[in-house]
Amino acid sequence: MSDLSKNTPLIDFHRSRGGRIVEFAGWNMPVQYAGIIEEHKAVRNSAGLFDASHMGEAFVSGSDALEFLNYALSNDFSGLENGAARYGVLCNPDGGAADDVIVYKMIDGTYMVVLNASNTAKDMRLLKERAAGLGGRAFNVEVEDISDSFALLALQGPRSPEVMKAVFNADFSGLKRFHFTSDARMIISRTGYTGSDGYEIFCPPEDAVALAEKLSACEGVSLCGLGARDSLRVEACYPLYGHELSDSITPLEAGLGWAVKLGKDFVGRDALARQAADGVKRKVAWFKTEGRRIPRDGVDVFSNGEKVGKVLSGAWSGTWECPIGSALVEAQKISEGGLYVDIRGSKINLEIREKTK
């Protein structure tokens, strides 16, 4: 692992509890504790605790904050109420994705935008440029990098509400999905990236260890790493920047049309409107396979001997006990079916899954 990589406030906590540390997006993070499959199952059946402190946070405030977000991001945040969160894509002018983000509305004119760790520096630059008018419109808004002000813990799984109650001595079961509550120190949000019920807790870095200790001490809570985070999100058909969504894969190709509002002006809008009008030629498809061999990132996808796409993510489903993944495939071929990959001479059929969302 690189000495130049950054540490979250929980690095010693991870090490002392047997987390296997790897470098990810410039951070030293645990890839697993007990094992990826076991952690995956813990989240689906009980509860799992993840360190997501590497994620970036931007604070966006000012009288034009809403107009700015609507211009800088693909989704429309107009109807977003205080204490609610919404997904959006930060697009490049050509329609490709620079990142995907979640916008939290604190109060009118004040938002927090949560960014992927690997993109935080780039996103901050893009957001500041767009605020300053480099995209053609200037806004009365301030964009501030507050990533160092927060640690982020994700408690995920069906047992999460009762664990939260035990630790905070307060009932968060009534908090609706994609809503949050906050006080002077913390934000508690009913969000996550696993496909299971759960919460994300933004807290001051100095509180993180004590909180992680309390949460992980509760019955039924397993410590989880990035490996399970990945297999869970693939199982839930959630895109990950750099795989299903990237500079060269637009949100429309990624199946995120629901978060792209072409009826308003935003960076990338014209390119995406053209793509929508011409028809999306290739799409991200989510698959499962029989057998035990995981099709890995970069493997070619075939149909009748013809190369029609590439695998973007491959993982093991702890729920169905089979390989799962995603691929970017010519749109027409997805509906025709008969897609397969070749792993060292073995033909493996891809069973296309209906996206859960």
Tell me which residues touch other proteins (CB under 8 A): 31-32, 35-38, 227, 231, 291-294, 296, 315-316, 323, 344
**Cβ closer to other proteins: 262 or 343?**
343
HSE-CB of 73 using CA atoms within 13 angstroms: 27
CB of 323 to other proteins, least distance (A): 8
Residue 194, phi then psi, degrees to nearest 5: -115, -20
- As a whole number of angstroms, the distance between CA 81 and CA 59 comes to 17
**Cβ closer to other proteins: 214 or 288?**
288
CB of 36 to other proteins, least distance (A): 5
**Cβ closer to other proteins: 31 or 280?**
31
- List the Cα angle 354/266/134 in 5-degree steps: 135
What's the alpha-carbon Rg for the chain, to the nearest Å? 20
CB of 31 to other proteins, least distance (A): 8
**Cβ closer to other proteins: 214 or 293?**
293
- Tell me the helix, strand and coil percentages in the chain, rounded to 5: 25, 35, 40
- As a whole number of angstroms, the distance between CA 29 and CA 51 comes to 8
CB of 340 to other proteins, least distance (A): 17
Instruction: Give the residue among 163, 158, 167 at the shortest CA–CA distance from 186.
Output: 167
**Cβ closer to other proteins: 115 or 299?**
299
- As a whole number of angstroms, the distance between CA 204 and CA 149 comes to 6
CB of 157 to other proteins, least distance (A): 19
CB of 293 to other proteins, least distance (A): 5
The DSSP secondary structure of 253-273, one letter per residue, reads TTT-GGG--TTS--TTHHHHH
- List the Cα angle 125/117/65 in 5-degree steps: 45
**Cβ closer to other proteins: 35 or 158?**
35
- As a whole number of angstroms, the distance between CA 152 and CA 140 comes to 29
Beta bridge partner(s), residue 32: 20
CB of 116 to other proteins, least distance (A): 21
**Cβ closer to other proteins: 206 or 321?**
321
**Cβ closer to other proteins: 150 or 193?**
193
CB of 37 to other proteins, least distance (A): 5
Classify 61 as helix, strand or coil: strand
